Amino acid sequence: MKEPLITLEEIRQLLLENQLYVALSEELRYDSRIVMDSLSLLWFLEKLEQRLQLRLELQEQDYERFDSIQSIQQLISERAAAACGMAGGSGERSEQG
């Protein structure tokens, strides 16, 4: 069975660990609205790419989609699938232990 490249909880923890947005708290839900300034967004992208060990090729309109954990995960899945599609992958990680 395949699982997402990064889970909703992993994205949530990355946001909380790095305190990217002062208003974020332990109450942050997957559908909570997130607002980051441009510097915070760039910093988050750097941490995210390090975590995924993957360079995300984003379009200008993609940056607007960093407004909730759910939309971030969806965007990552789409971009990773597109990148892996060129290399023959699926943008998902398999459960192999």
Q: For the whole model, what pTM was predicted?
A: 0.77
3-state secondary structure the chain: CEEECCCHHHHHHHHHHCCCCCCCCCCCCCCCCCCCCHHHHHHHHHHHHHHHCCCCCCCHHHHHHCCCHHHHHHHHHHHHHHHHHHHCCCCEEECCC
**With 50 as the cut, is the pLDDT of residue 96 above it?**
no
What per-residue confidence (pLDDT) applies to 15?
A: 87
pLDDT of residue 16: 84
Q: Please give the pLDDT value at position 70.
A: 96
pLDDT for 20 beyond 70: no
Mean of all residue pLDDT scores within the chain: 80
State the CATH class of domain 2-87. mainly alpha
